[in-house]
Amino acid sequence: MRPTRSPRRVALAVVAATAALLTASACGSSGGGKAPDNAAPGITFASGTATPGMVPDGRGPAMPGMSMPSTSSAAAAPAGPNAVTIDNFAFGPSSLTVKVGTTVTWTNHDEEPHTVVATDGTFRSPTLGNNATYTFTFGKAGTFAYVCSIHPFMHATVVVTQ
């Protein structure tokens, strides 16, 4: 004869299995690109930043109660001429033009963590919590496309001129 399972025991097993799956899915890797030796990145962590949690992946809300950003919303204006803001899951401005030797600063104004990763591997920030910044000095001319590796639907470019 099979032992009876109490509803409480079944519920606890379901909760434990769900927690294990959510934890495993949150531990994925975003790649292991390495910034070149001549890169001059700088990082400032905001005090009290939260540990990154489950975030939307571009296919829909990750958890009940979370909503995806509207694709029609405009990003906030940057804080300065060589600054990019990260706000409402968007880089603003979406294209920035600077001269060779200019240092660009990205600041995360979202509550969610973000990264700044060049698609060609030129630069790569660590995960930026709320109000954290990342800086990079552009040493050569070109067009540098970048994304947030956590939210790849976020993308922008820096155009560097002579």
Residue spans of the domains in the chain: they are 35-49+76-162
Angstrom distance (rounded) from CA 103 to CA 99: 9
Q: Which of 89, 42, 39 is nearest to 67 (CA)?
A: 89
What's the confidence (pLDDT) of residue 125?
A: 98
**Where are any strands of DSSP class E within the chain?**
42-44, 83-86, 91-92, 95-99, 103-108, 117-118, 133-137, 142-147, 155-161
Angstrom distance (rounded) from CA 41 to CA 128: 13
Q: Are 131 and 43 in contact (CB under 8 A)?
A: no
For the full predicted model, state whether its pTM sits above 0.85: no
What's the confidence (pLDDT) of residue 81?
A: 86
Show the low-confidence residues of the chain (pLDDT under 50).
Answer: 10, 12, 14-15, 17-40, 44-78
CATH number of the domain at 35-49+76-162, out of 2.60.40.420, 3.40.190.10, 3.40.50.800, 2.40.50.140? 2.60.40.420
Residues whose CB falls within 8 Å of the CB of residue 99, separated by 6 or more in sequence, listed in order: 160, 161, 162
Q: Are 116 and 107 in contact (CB under 8 A)?
A: no
The structure tokens 């296919």 sit at 59
What's the confidence (pLDDT) of residue 132?
A: 97
